[in-house]
């Protein structure tokens, strides 16, 4: 435990921030996984709908500062590539 008063407060706010970020990352992973599962199952239409939802979740995570904007762009690009490949098959 820190000795300095401001450090003690930082420990509390860091814990709150960490739990909030963990929740956002969890929803982000879930949305990405759903797109992957739809692609694996060969459901192209469902994958497109889930891709739109996942893109929204990724953008919100980047806006909140949970992930970097370039990381968000990379994740969206990779998911879109998978969904488009499933649609063309």
Of the two residues 88 and 12, the one the predictor is more confident about is: 12
Number of domains in the chain: 1
Cα 66 to the center of its chain, rounded Å: 9
pLDDT average, residue stretch 27-35: 97
Give 63-67 contacts, CB < 8 A, sequence gap 24+.
64/24, 66/21, 66/24, 66/25, 66/28, 67/25, 67/28
The model's pTM is 0.87
Tens of pLDDT, residues 34-68? 999 999 998 999 999 999 999 999 999 999 999 99
**87 confidence band (pLDDT: 50, 70, 90):** confident
**Where in the sequence is the domain holding 69, given as residue range(s)?**
5-88
Query: What CATH number is given to the structural domain containing 73?
Result: 1.20.58.110
Average pLDDT in the chain = 95
């Amino acid at each position: 435990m820190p000795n300095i008063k401001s450090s003690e407060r930082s420990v509390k706010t860091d814990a709150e921030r960490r739990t909030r970020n963990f929740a956002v990352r969890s929803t982000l992973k879930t949305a990405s996984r759903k797109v992957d599962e739809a692609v694996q199952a060969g459901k192209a239409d469902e994958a497109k709908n889930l891709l739109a939802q996942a893109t929204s979740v990724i953008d919100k995570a980047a806006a909140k500062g949970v992930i970097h904007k370039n990381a968000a762009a990379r994740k969206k690009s990779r998911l879109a590539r998978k969904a488009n490949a499933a649609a063309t098959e």
